[in-house]
Chain A
Amino acid sequence: MSFAPDGLAAGADGVQEPLLELRGVRAAYERIEVLHGVDFAIPAGTVFAMLGPNGAGKTTMLRVAAGLHRPTRGDVYMAGRQVTGAKADELARRGVCTIPEGRGVFPNLTVRENLRMATFAGVTLPEVEEATFARFPRLKERRHQQAGTLSGGEQQMLSMARALATRPALLLLDELSMGLAPLIVEQIYEVVAQVAKEGVSILVVEQFAATVLGVADYAAIMVQGRVVKAGSPAEMESELSAAYLGG
């Protein structure tokens, strides 16, 4: 199934170009194909939620978009340019930022040292800290604490803060809500919505849809390596149980 939000049809005149687009992407681990032709497009400054049950291929799709996994067929486009096969670090330097499942903080470094890691993108540590502590005041209290000793919610905040400090244009988020209390998930997604308003395009991969649909502009459901439904968050909400249960 192919999906592009209204007004993003390829080649149409005067339409907004998607910031990220996957066309017929197939991907495999060794001989086992996990993506069987995935198509979708994300307009600039929007939040796109890719939902689906465990094992649907969402994370693999995210890895393909980030340049971490090369597709066996199909193409990845960014800002209208084909970037299939581009290395992840090359894309990262240009503003593609991934927050992996499991947060990806350096556990034996302090919060401050973790934030220092974001200074590779040309921002100074004081700038990073100022932006981070304004967005996540709790991290200021814990700035000298080792990241591995933070709670799950705080680690996710740190991970987000470090990503945002690099001034990403495209943010790829993998299972933000994993292992977090509902209240913390809501707080994290409030930040996601705020970041999208600042012009960052966001692709969120989620298994648990309730909160993400509240902030998403577009949503799609992926099952067994295929996008089976796509549309507005309201439409997807009503389709979810059927898609998850194979109805």
Chain B
Amino acid sequence: MIESTERVEQFKAEIAGMRLRDPAGGRDAQLLRAGVVGMLAGLIVTVVAYFGSHSATGAAQQDYIVVALIGVSLSVVGAAVFLRYSLAQFLRFWLARLIYEQQAQTDRIVGTAAPKSDGLGVANN
């Protein structure tokens, strides 16, 4: 039945070599949550450090500045992780929807404007 088994063997080898994620792991969801936590934690740390620096002087104040900078960095990284695992997914759906709507729109226009065809695109006059 099979004339060429080369592709089948290649497919078997590629499937065998696939690195599969544990479907129960939900890594994406965990990273999404980690992003939100990082963003909020960074914000809180920054605000606390800002007010703490008011009552501190000298080296202690410099420590508060460093802590505040770490907080800002944490917020930025958290926001980036959040965007990667939430908006990226949303944008993929948005793009798919856009393509689908374009296709539906073209179908409507073709249905209205094109002459009757014989099924192969040849007009029947």
Contacts and interface: CB of A to CB of B under 8 A. Distances in A.
B91 interface: no
Interface in A63-112: 70, 78-86, 90, 94-95, 102, 105-108
Size category of the binding interface on chain B: 20 to 34
B120 A83 contact: no
A4 interface: no
Interface in A162-177: 167, 169-170
Main secondary structure of the interface of A (DSSP, over half): loop
B121 interface: yes
Contact of A95 (B5, B14, B99, B118): B14
B8 A108 contact: no
Interface in A143-200: 146, 148-154, 167, 169-170, 180-181, 183-184, 196-200
Interface string B1-20: 11111111011101110101
Given A19-B11, A79-B12, 7 more contacts: A81-B18, A90-B18, A107-B107, A148-B106, A148-B107, A180-B119, A197-B1
Interface of B: 1-8, 10-12, 14-16, 18, 20-23, 99, 102-103, 106-107, 109-110, 114, 117-121
Interface of A: 17, 19, 43-46, 70, 78-86, 90, 94-95, 102, 105-108, 138, 142, 146, 148-154, 167, 169-170, 180-181, 183-184, 196-201, 217
